[in-house]
């Protein structure tokens, strides 16, 4: 498979065309904005947290296929997860995007999200995929600041 078709796998193209949970969430009690100043991608994550569990999650924004698909798949993956489970998933996805994981382990542990592993071959696109994850992380922590992909030291 060429690098290009590894990046733009069917699942990603599908989530780009028909993003899931792509709307404002009424009754959300967590919300964060994410922004990638390099390309202008913007995302807003809405979370309805009940106790420790992500009852509902949605997103809005504009961005490339990678950022949209990543956000869409993330909302599917995080729904129903506890904060600790979400945190564990953040860490795994982050490592996958940085190319620090074994691809076989990805498909076992990350399921559908493993299609994002092709992104690590495209360093310029890693931030597109990670923006929504960083932003969800911020929403769960209740951070008020806009999450930017351009954080010194990142």
Partner 1 sequence: MKPVREAAAPRGWGEGRTALDVAGIRADFPILKQQIHGKPLVYFDNAATSQKPQAVIDAVNRYYAAENANIHRGIHFLSELATAEYEEARARAKRFLNASDSREIIFVRGTTEGINLVAQSYGRRFIKGGDEIIISAMEHHSNIVPWQMLCEQVGACLRVVPINHDGEILLEEYERLLNDKTKLVSVAHVSNALGTINPVKQIVEMAHRRNVPVLLDGAQAVPHMKVDVQDLDCDFYAFSGHKLFGPTGIGILFGKAKHLEAMPPYQGGGDMISLVTFEKTHYNILPYKFEAGTPHIAGGIGLGAAIGYLEGIGLEAVSVYEQGLLAYATEALSSIKGLRIIGTAKEKAGVVSFVLDGVHPHDIGTVLDQEGVAIRAGHHCAMPVMQRFGVPATARASFAFYNTKEEVDILVRAIHKVIKVFS
40 in contact with partner 1 (CB under 8 A)? yes
For residues 139 and 30, the answer to whether their CB atoms sit within 8 Å is: yes
106 in contact with partner 1 (CB under 8 A)? no
65 in contact with partner 1 (CB under 8 A)? yes
Please calculate the CA angle 27-64-88 and round it to the nearest 5 degrees.
Answer: 55
Number of residues that bind partner 1 (CB under 8 A): 23
For residues 145 and 31, the answer to whether their CB atoms sit within 8 Å is: no
User: Residue 96: CB partners within 8 Å, gap ≥ 6?
Assistant: 106, 110, 113, 114, 116, 117, 120
CB atoms within 10 A of CB 18: 9
Give whichever of 61 and 114 is closer to partner 1, judged by the CB atom: 61
For residues 109 and 124, the answer to whether their CB atoms sit within 8 Å is: no
7 in contact with partner 1 (CB under 8 A)? yes
Exactly one of 66, 73, 93, 116 binds partner 1 (CB under 8 A); that residue is: 66
Positions in 110-139 near partner 1 (CB under 8 A): 122, 124-125, 128
Single out the segment in contact with partner 1 by CB under 8 A; choices: 19-27, 32-40, 87-95, 103-111.
32-40
Give the span between the Cα atoms of 80 and 68, in whole angstroms.
21
Give whichever of 111 and 123 is closer to partner 1, judged by the CB atom: 123
Give whichever of 10 and 145 is closer to partner 1, judged by the CB atom: 10
11 in contact with partner 1 (CB under 8 A)? no
SS3 category, 12: helix
> What residues make contact with partner 1 under the rule CB under 8 A?
2-4, 7-8, 13, 16-17, 38-42, 62-66, 68, 122, 124-125, 128
């Amino acid at each position: 498979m060429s690098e290009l078709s590894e990046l733009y796998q069917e699942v990603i193209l599908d989530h780009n065309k028909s993003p899931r949970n792509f709307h404002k969430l009424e009754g959300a009690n967590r919300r964060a904005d994410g922004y990638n100043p390099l390309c202008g991608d913007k995302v807003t994550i809405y979370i309805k947290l009940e106790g420790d569990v992500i009852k509902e999650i949605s997103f809005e924004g504009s961005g490339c296929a990678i950022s949209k698909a990543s956000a869409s798949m993330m909302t599917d993956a995080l729904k129903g997860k506890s904060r600790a489970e979400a945190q564990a998933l953040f860490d795994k996805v982050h490592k996958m995007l940085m190319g620090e994981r074994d691809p076989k382990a990805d498909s076992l542990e990350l399921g559908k999200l493993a299609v994002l592993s092709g992104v690590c071959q495209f360093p310029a696109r890693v931030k597109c995929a990670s923006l929504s994850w960083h932003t969800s992380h911020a929403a769960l922590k209740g951070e008020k600041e806009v999450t930017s992909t351009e954080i010194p030291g990142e």
